Amino acid sequence: MKTRLNCPCSLQIVGTDEDDLVAKVQEHLEADHPGREYDRDMILFMAF
């Protein structure tokens, strides 16, 4: 199960499970990187 992702802006995002990680990454993108959207598969591909 992947629960961490390092954003290129230096923020490390940690979720309790994959669903939580995807939700947190999408919230981060919306707040800090408007116009960038990644689907679940893309987020989990980049996660570890």
Q: Cβ of 29: how many Cβ atoms within 10 Å? A: 17
pLDDT in tens, 4-40: 999 999 999 999 999 999 999 999 999 999 999 999 9
Give the pLDDT of residue 6: 98
CB-based contact 2:47 (threshold 8 Å): yes
Residue with tokens 């893309």: 42
